[in-house]
Homo-oligomer: A and B are copies of this chain.
Amino acid sequence: MAKKNITFNDIAQYTGFSKTTISRYFNYPDSLTLENQKKIGDALKRLNYHENKVARILANGKTEFIGIIIPNLYLHYYSSMLNEILSTYEKFGYKFIVFSGSNGEETEREYMKELLSYKIEGMIVLSHTISSEELASYGIPVVTIEREDRYTNSVNTDNYLGGVQATEILYDAGCDVYLHINSTLSENIPSYGRIRGFTDTCGKHHLEHRIFSKEIPDDYESIQNYMAEFLNTVARTYPGKRKGIFLPNDTYAGILCNLLIRQYRIIPDEYCIIGFDNSPASREAVIPISTIGQQIEAIAQSAMEILVAQINERKHTKSSLPGGLTHKVIPPVPILRETTTKR
């Protein structure tokens, strides 16, 4: 930092090329002969030139930045998704400016404003706060993951298929009554598909079933209290019946299993349990939990592929109007462990 920054002028003088040629070397290297590229490249090494991306951005508008807004890193689903997105750097070279936290619309708009002021080239949004219509209005490529996506590109798990798979696994295990816990989802959220998959499969097999809908904050105490209350209700309502329970994620499933194990030291035969996500918590539980696995790596990869394709398209067409939208759906993978064994 103590060193004087080397300018295009310095490089031009040193190499004998014009400043325009030096600028072309950085922005359109293919427009120079290989020989001249090599001459300039060697000179840069001898000059000990360190690239200043900020200067380059002003020259060509390519920041190589992608913004990420993620609701929290408590749910393992989000921290593994973030990990997978960050690791695409090796493949695509994009850098990520990350905001975390669902602190309401105004805060998220502040995040958006910050991201836009840094001329991010695209955005991956996992939080549910700002509508896809508003996200689309910012005029840059956006991919959303598992949230309302009417006006944005998106990558989602095939939630309907996941709901069907979970219910069929409980059916195979010979349950008497089928219970599904979920948030009070509106129908335009992808994971609403799980409710439809559950309901349709129960209908197909004429199964006694019930959906428990409630908005629960994403913290341990709230979830545990709700699950304890739920267990009381179902034990009282369905005594002696084998209860098949389909949870919205593995965090819920783990907490439910732990409550049962604390009470009975095992998971009683009367309960079959299946989670969603295939997070480490499900695999590493005392009694490994059956789950519907989300292909996190494939979702992160697809999100980046769609985003990068749109970024490149915009560069070539110089258009500020988005092309068509891409909605990619990734199939989930059922994973049978020890909480859904047949009677």
Chain A residues within CB distance 8 Å of chain B = 1-2, 50-55, 57-58, 63, 72-74, 79-80, 82-83, 86-87, 89-90, 95-101, 103, 107, 114, 116-119, 139-140, 220, 224, 254-255, 258, 261-262, 265-266, 280, 283-287, 320-321
With contacts A79-B79, A139-B2 taken as known, whether A50 is within 8 angstroms of B280 at the C-beta atoms is: no
Residues of B within 8 A of A99 (CB): 86, 89
When C-beta atoms are compared, the residue in chain B nearest to A119 turns out to be B54
Main secondary structure of the interface of A (DSSP, over half): mixed
Q: Are A220 and B100 in contact (CB-based, < 8 A)?
A: no
CA A114 to CA B212, docked complex, whole Å: 48
Q: Are B53 and A117 in contact (CB-based, < 8 A)?
A: yes
Tell me, rounded to whole Å, the shortest Cβ–Cβ distance linking A94 to chain B. 10
Residues of B within 8 A of A54 (CB): 54, 57-58, 63, 118-119
Q: Are A284 and B98 in contact (CB-based, < 8 A)?
A: no
Tell me, rounded to whole Å, the shortest Cβ–Cβ distance linking A38 to chain B. 21
CA A258 to CA B254, docked complex, whole Å: 13
CA A86 to CA B99, docked complex, whole Å: 6
When C-beta atoms are compared, the residue in chain B nearest to A68 turns out to be B98
Q: Are B284 and A255 in contact (CB-based, < 8 A)?
A: yes
Tell me, rounded to whole Å, the shortest Cβ–Cβ distance linking A282 to chain B. 11
Residues of B within 8 A of A72 (CB): 83
Tell me, rounded to whole Å, the shortest Cβ–Cβ distance linking A293 to chain B. 15
Tell me, rounded to whole Å, the shortest Cβ–Cβ distance linking A118 to chain B. 5
Residues of B within 8 A of A1 (CB): 139-140, 320
With contacts A73-B73, A83-B72 taken as known, whether A119 is within 8 angstroms of B286 at the C-beta atoms is: no
CA A90 to CA B100, docked complex, whole Å: 11
With contacts A73-B73, A97-B97 taken as known, whether A119 is within 8 angstroms of B52 at the C-beta atoms is: yes
Q: Are B83 and A50 in contact (CB-based, < 8 A)?
A: no
Q: Which of B2, B114, B266 contacts A95 (CB 8 A)?
A: B114
CA A280 to CA B74, docked complex, whole Å: 9
When C-beta atoms are compared, the residue in chain B nearest to A116 turns out to be B50
With contacts A58-B55, A286-B258 taken as known, whether A320 is within 8 angstroms of B2 at the C-beta atoms is: yes
